[in-house]
Structure formats: structure tokens, C-alpha cells
A and B are shown apart, each in its own frame.
Chain A
Amino acid sequence: MIRLERRPNPSQVWSYLTPVVALIATMIAGGAMFAALGSDPVEAIRLIFWDPLFGEFAFYYRAQILVKAGPLILIAVGLALGFRAGIWNIGAEGQYIMGAIFAAAVGLAFYPMEARWLIFPLMIVAGALGGFLWAMIPALLKTKFNTNEILVSLLLVYVAEQFLAKMSFGALRNPDGQGFPGSRNLSQYASTANPEVIAGTGAHWGVIAATIAVLVAAILLSRHRVGFDIKLMGVAPRAAAFSGVIPARMVILCLGISGALAGLAGMFEVTGPAGQITENFNQGYGFTAIIVAFLGRLNPIGILFAGLLIGLTYIGGDAAQSGMGLPLAAVQAFQGMLLFFLLAFDLLTQYRVRLGKAGVAA
């Protein structure tokens, strides 16, 4: 008989090992799924995990991985802070959109002025502010009226999407665009462009920002009172109140930080890889970042690796789609498996598996 027994202390070893075990299990189960679809599983796994890193076109793919991973990490780091405190911002996608719109609006307002030293920093501020303000809606509703931040933040994603469409057809539309929807291309306008900082690596300013966010969050969580309060509120809300943590302030802080970081991610995306505000600007980074946050064990350094891994499965998944004709749904299911196995194996950090009858220890 298999029994689960609660560990007195959470296992350190397993908290590092579960992502690896989950990855292996995903490869096995995913391979089986690809085989059932009639594709060669080894080939598919190699195409997804190996070729983008070490294959013939790795120089191109590697840069693409960073482009994908940058916004994921930036958003996930912010989300993880809230998740640690038990504050569930599910609407990063909306905050990401609003950040992009705010930033684009500021940048376009200056067009065609040449003053990168002024405009680009202003756009960074505007991007963060857009995401922050959008996140303040669920935050204030929660602190004033005790609404559920999960629902409010999620539903505001759809509001933001409508607003995005309105902007790309309306106020932000390129006046020289012959009536096509979408804004001017910000990446082609020197004052607003977000180019690669080091050519050929894919590392644009968003990737730099993500790296800084990871470091700051790691220090905050391990060395600062605010990080301690966040963790405390997540594991023992009453003990947090006893310690002196004020829940409403934490809600504002956590939603504010995650909103601002999502907004920043939107800003770097719209000025770089996306280039312009269009109706289809958002590609689900805000939702995928939730997976990244959990895959990284809500730990900033873990999120760095998780973001790169998910970026890899995106790029590799695209390659597998085009190279082997795998359906998009199969690739998405594969990514879903990763989260599923991670959460399943996560049990092992808190519990140990015992076979047979309870043993007698001396």
C-alpha cells in the first residue's frame, strides 16, 4: 500500500529536485502523446529541447528564447511576490496591455521628436504606471469592498483587450498607415526603439530589466523585512497580523509591484519585438507567466530558469510545429503537462511516500 506521510520539515532536496523530475516526466508523457499522434517522439523531444540550444540554427533560436523569456520572467517575478503572500493577481495580461498602451501613447505623443534620452525613460515610467494603475483597480476594490482579486483582475484582462482594440483602431492608429489598424512602428523610431543591447543575443532592454527584477526580488525575499512580511502573510495570515503586517497595505504593494512589472514588460515588448500597438498585440505572456512563477517555485532565481525553459518550449514547439507538422494543441498540451507534473511532484516536498505498513523506528 502506498501512503503519504507529512514531513516535519519541508524537504530542501525535493524542492530543488521536483522541477527536474517534472521535466523528465513531461518528456515521457509528452513523448507518448506525440507517438500516439503518429510522430516520432524522440525526434519531437529533440526538436523542442535540443535543437534550439545546440542545433544547426541555434544562433538564431537562442536569441529568440531570450526574447520570449524576458517578458515572462519580468511578469512572473512580480506575480510570485503576490502569490507568496496569498494575493492572486491573475490579470497580468491586462496590466501588460495597459503598460504597452501607456508607453506607446507617450512615445507617439512625442513623434517625430528626436530625444531618446528623454522619451525612452518617460515611456518606461509610463509603462510601469499603466500596469500599476490597472492593478490598482482589483487592489482597491479588495481593500475597500473585500472583492475577490482573482475574479476582478482576470475580468479586467478582457476589458484591457477591448481597450487595446479600440486604441489600435482609434487614437493610436498610424495616421500614415493608409487606414490599416495599428500604431506607428515604435521600433523603427529611434527615440522609442528597444533594440538588442548586445547584437545577436536577443537581449533587449526588457531582458536587462528582467535580470534586475530577479536580483532585486531575490534580495527582497531573503534579506528584507518587506519580503519577510510577504512570506509571513502567505504562510500564516494571523501570525502576520500579530507581527504587525497590515493586510491592505500588502494587497496594494503586491498588486502594485506585479502590475508595474507587467506594464514594463508590455512597454519593452511594444517598443521592441512587437514594434507597434495592434489588436493582436498580446500573446498570452501574462497568463504563461503564472506557469513560469509556479515552475520557478515562486523563487526569483527559479523563475529565471523557468522562464528560459518555457521560452525554450515555445521556440522548440514552434519548430516542432513547422518541422514535424505537430498541431498547436499538442504543443500547448505539452506545456500544460509541465505544470501538471510540477504541481503533482511538488507534493514530495511536504510529504514522503511510504510503501507498506508503518515502520517502527527505534
Chain B
Amino acid sequence: MGAEITTDLLAVHGVTKAYPGVVANDDVSLAITPGQVHALLGENGAGKSTLVKMMYGLVKPDSGHMTLGGAAFTPTDPRAARAAGIAMVFQHFSLFDALTVAENIALGMEHPPKPRQLSRQIKEVSETYGLPLNPDRTVGTLSAGERQRVEIIRCLLQNPRLLIMDEPTSVLTPQEVDILFATLRKLSSEGTAILYISHKLEEIRALCDAATILRGGKVVATCDPRSQSAREMAELMVGQSFATPARRAKDTRAAPALRVKGLSAARTSPFGTTLSDVTFDVAPGEILGIGGVAGNGQDELLNALSGETRTQGDQITLNDVAMGGLSPRDRRAAGLCVAPEERLGHAAAPTLSLVENAFLTADTRKILSKNGFINWSAVRAYATEVIEGFDVRTPGPNTAAQALSGGNLQKFLMGREMLQSPTALVINQPTWGVDAAAAASIRSKLMAMADDGAAVVVISQDLDELLEISDRFAALNAGHLSPARPVTGLTMDEIGLMLGGSAAA
């Protein structure tokens, strides 16, 4: 699919969409040819979602128009978009855990065929496209990669002309990514166009034929990703050049500060994962990266470390003091700070202000209250310190947490824990949903913290991130943690095996 003139499958002509206070799409044009794998690149808030929502009939453009196969295309709802041949796999799956694969797929269909017939169709499609999936399995028992397959097969059963995929690899292991790419290439060779939304530039270079880069709601470039370097695309996306944070010089490893030994914890939800015999330690000045696909025990591990789940005292120790039986506040006082993945509702209270949310965890270490009486001016000062130190964009410290964008709130929450200068810091998904520049800044701050002597544990699904900042790497699989290995010299294949639970040590 090169320069020859083809009829565009989907063409977007100068669409504009404004929301109160922000123009999400400003005169955006884009053309996708049949069989093309087209990347849509951009930071959070660049307008990718709005553009895609217009294609999928969820949002109506204020001006501009779209054509599909040459005819005017104005979907009024997703049903109309699907009928026109557009299918979408969302980043967050909409599946019912308690139902089987086939039942979930039938729920999304206008006229589902008989169960047995549907199961046969699912098997056919899954075999044709190399997506192994048993239609009778309960979704709750599937891995994230398998759940994604359910969503993809649900789309493929509609024989779409254009398949939109939103950040599809964020939850996959490297091996699963390979399978997905093989499927997408096969679809493309059969003439299905794919609009691939991602910020992982290497993936885009490996997979896509064309790329449209959005920044601040506008198209800033259209390019062929195969002939551009990842750095060039990143700079187009961010609008500035930025340096990758420098790695620290290696010293000899100090005695571990945070030790977790034989930690077992029951699952926190019916479809959660039971932790069994998790053992690791982190030394001061060290970053341990814990990889793994979501739902393999990350939440349970985090709750056990934060103190929301109590364990036997000596299963978790900080500088040889037993932590397992302590409350979250006692743990913070002892120097163990934790930042959960879910921002609204877990790490922060959505309706409370940033000041109140600063108090939520910083009370103990920053001594923001005396005999229980809160010193609000000290809390406000701390919130302001976090806002300034971590470049949180907010009208002020009295803004409700829910009014901030995800990335800005994440920066605030990271700052809230990091500025407490903990002895050990555990973070689940430090840069989830944060734009590239801010993510780089959070990572370099984490590294600086470790340099200053903190023991840091980063739990993440973003392997690139873990490999960039970690000294050692371990993988969580089905509630088991692999032995940690030094990152230097670790190959992608070895990582894949660790993530898959293989006992290669």
C-alpha cells in the first residue's frame, strides 16, 4: 500500500469538536485506505478519543464531515457505525465476568444466532485469525489478553471494513503482542483497514503503514512510521524534544530495606487473584520493577503492602521492623508509602479538594495535625508544594480531585507520596494515562528518589517503563512472583517467559 491512488475507505474532512473550555478536535482531516494499518498518535488530551468517538457515532462533530466508501457518513449512534462496517475494541473491556465467552459475544449482537451456531462461528473466526479461544470458558477466568481476544472476535463477527483499536497492547505480554500483530496483519491483507491508537512508537513502526499525529486537537503531521525514527515521532507528538532520563551509576547493593517473605493473601474480589508465597526484597537506592499483566495479583500485592489487607507481621518487614500487622497509618509513620493504581476512589477521594487529598496520606509523615486537630494552613502549604514540584495543572489547591485530568491528578498523587520522603515507596502504575513528557518527569523523579536512598518498588504493565528505570525485574503471574533478576542483560524473550510464569531463573 504505497503511493498508488486508492479510493479512501474512511475520509475525515476538517472536523471540529469543541467542549466547554477546550477544542478537542480542530479542523482534523484524515484518510484511511482499505487494508491500511493506520496509526493515530498523540498524547493524552491530544484529541484521539474524540476523533475516534466521532467515527464510532458516540460524538457528533460541530463542523466538518466524514465519508465512508465515498458516501457521506454521519453515524448517529454506535449501532449505525457498526452497521456501516466500523468496529471498535476499547481499551477498557466491557465484558461480564460471570458469563461465558459466547454469552458475552451474544449480548453485543443485534440478532444473535443460536448458542451452538454462535460457538461454531467463534471457533471458526478464532482459528482463522490465530486467536485461540474457547467459547465456553467463563470470562472471569480469562487473562487480559484472552479478554481482548473476546472483544476482537466480537468485532470480527460483524465483518468490519474498519477496525479501531484503542491502546490494544497495554495489557499484553510480548508473546501476546506478537499473536495480536499477526492477526492484525492477516486482517489487513484481507482488506480490512485498521486504525491503531497507541503511544508506543516502536510498535507503530513495526506494524503501521501510515500515521497521523495529533497534538492539542490538531493534526501536526502525517507520516510513514517505517521511515521515521521513534524519536522523531515522539518529538512531533510532544512538540518539544526531551531527553531520556540518564541511568544511574551502579554501586554495590546495600542491605535490603523492604523485605517481603512468603507473603500470601486472599483475593480481594471474586475474580481477583490469591497471592501465594510472594518473596522479594529491595535495597536502599534500588528500583525493583514488577511486571505482569493486570489481574495477576497486583492489586492484592499493593493492598497487602499498604496495610488495607493485614498479613502476618513478619511477612513484610521494613529495616527489620515487622509491618504485616500494622495499619496504613502506622506503616507510613515507619516509612513505607504506597500509591495505588486507581486514582479516583482509591488513591484520592474524587469530590474532595487537593488540599484534603494531600491530608489523606501525608498527615503522619508531614505532621499536619496535632492531637487530631488539623493544621489546614500546613496542609495547604504541602498541597501547594506538591502542585508546584510536580507541575500539576490546576486552578488551585482547592479544586476537587475529580476536576483534574487523569494525568494531572496522577502527578499530584505521585508527588504526594514522593515528597513525604519515605524509606520505601511502592507504586502501582506510576505513569498510567500520563502524557509522555510528564511520564518522563515522573520516572526521572523516581530515579532521583532511589539515588537519594529510597527503596522503590514499581508495579507496572508498561515493560518499556520498567526496563528503563528498574535495577532488577520480577514478574507477577497468577499470584506468584518470579525471582528478581538484574535488568542489565535481560532479553525480551526471557522477560516474556517470566511474565508467562515459566520458572526459568
Q: Which residues of A contact B (CB under 8 A)?
A: 8-10, 223-226, 228, 231-232, 235-236, 238-244, 246, 359-361
> When the two chains form the complex, which single residue of A10, A235, A242 contacts B328, counting CB atoms closer than 8 Å?
A242
Can you pick out 26 interface pairs between chain A and chain B where the beta carbons lie within 8 Å of each other? Answer: A8-B400, A9-B400, A223-B373, A225-B363, A225-B372, A225-B373, A225-B374, A226-B372, A232-B360, A235-B349, A236-B349, A236-B352, A239-B347, A240-B349, A241-B328, A242-B340, A242-B346, A243-B361, A244-B328, A244-B332, A246-B327, A360-B18, A361-B18, A361-B19, A361-B20, A361-B21
How many angstroms from the CA of A10 to the CA of B351 in the assembled complex?
8
CA distance A181 to B376 in the complex (A): 55
The verdict on B307 contacting chain A, using a C-beta distance below 8 Å, is: yes
CB distance from B112 to the nearest CB of A (A): 34
Instruction: Give min CB distance, B408 to chain A, whole Å.
Output: 13
Partner of B402, one of A8, A231, A359: A8
The answer to the question of B49 belonging to the interface, with a C-beta cut-off of 8 Å to chain A, is no
Q: Establish whether residues B356 and A228, one from each chain, have CB atoms under 8 Å apart when the complex forms.
A: yes
Residue in A225, A243, A246, A360 with the greatest tally of chain B CB atoms within 10 Å? A243
Knowing that A223-B373, A224-B373 are A-B contacts, what are 19 other residue pairs whose CB atoms are under 8 Å apart, sorted by A's residue number? A8-B402, A223-B376, A225-B369, A225-B373, A238-B342, A239-B345, A240-B349, A242-B306, A242-B328, A242-B338, A242-B340, A242-B347, A243-B328, A243-B329, A244-B307, A244-B327, A360-B18, A361-B18, A361-B21
The smallest C-beta distance from B305 to any residue of chain A, in angstroms, reads: 11
Find chain B residues with CB under 8 A from A240 CB: 349
Q: Which residue of B lies closest to A237 (CB)?
A: B345
Expressed in whole angstroms, the Cα–Cα distance for A240 and B307 within the complex equals 12
B118 within 8 A of A: no
B351's partner among A225, A235, A242, A359 (CB-CB below 8 A) is A235
Let me know if B359 is at the binding interface, CB within 8 A.
Answer: yes
A239 and B328 contact, CB distance less than 8 A:
no
**B315-345 interface (Cβ within 8 A of A):** 327-329, 332, 338, 340, 342, 345
Question: Known interface pairs A226-B372, A238-B346. Does A9 touch B403 (Cβ–Cβ under 8 Å)?
Answer: yes
Expressed in whole angstroms, the minimum distance between the Cβ of B148 and any Cβ of chain A is 26
Q: Which residue from chain A places its CB closest to the CB of B306 in the assembled complex?
A: A242
Asked whether B350 is an interface residue with its Cβ less than 8 Å from the other chain, the reply is: yes
Among B356-380, those with CB < 8 Å from A are 356, 359-361, 363, 369, 372-374, 376
Contacts of A235 in B (CB 8 A): 349-352
Please indicate the chain A residues that have their CB under 8 angstroms from the CB of B399 in the complex.
9
Contact, CB under 8 Å: A242 / B403: no
How close is B45's CB to chain A, nearest CB, in angstroms? 15
Main DSSP-derived SS at the A contact region: helix
| Chain A residues within an 8 Å CB radius of B356 | 228, 232
Query: B residues within 8 A CB of A359?
Result: 20
Interface centre among A10, A240, A241 (most CB of B within 10 A): A241
Specify which chain B residues have a CB less than 8 angstroms from the CB of A10 in the assembled complex: 351, 400
Q: A232-B352, A244-B327, A361-B20 are in contact. Are A223 and B374 (CB under 8 A)?
A: yes
Distance A246 CA – B328 CA, assembled complex (angstroms): 10
Residue B348 CB within 8 A of the other chain: yes
* A225 partner residues in chain B, CB cutoff 8 A: 363, 369, 372-374
**A307 vs B305: C-alpha distance in the bound complex, in angstroms?**
46
When chains A and B are docked, how far (Å) is the Cα of A360 from the Cα of B350? 26
Expressed in whole angstroms, the Cα–Cα distance for A310 and B472 within the complex equals 66
Question: Which residues of chain A come closer than 8 Å to B350, judged between CB atoms?
Answer: 235-236
What residues of A have a CB within 8 angstroms of the CB of B342 in the complex? 238
- Which of A223, A231, A241 makes the CB contact (< 8 A) with B352? A231
Which residues on B sit within 8 Å (CB–CB) of A242?
306, 308, 328, 338, 340, 346-347, 360-361
Report if B62 contacts A (CB, 8 A): yes
Distance, CA A242 to CA B341, complexed state (A): 12
A243 to B347, CA, bound (A): 8
Q: Which residues of A contact B376 (CB under 8 A)?
A: 223
B503 to chain A, nearest CB (A): 34
Q: Which of B19, B20, B349 contacts A232 (CB 8 A)?
A: B349
CB of A1, distance to nearest CB on chain B (Å): 15
Residue in chain A with minimal CB distance to B22? A361
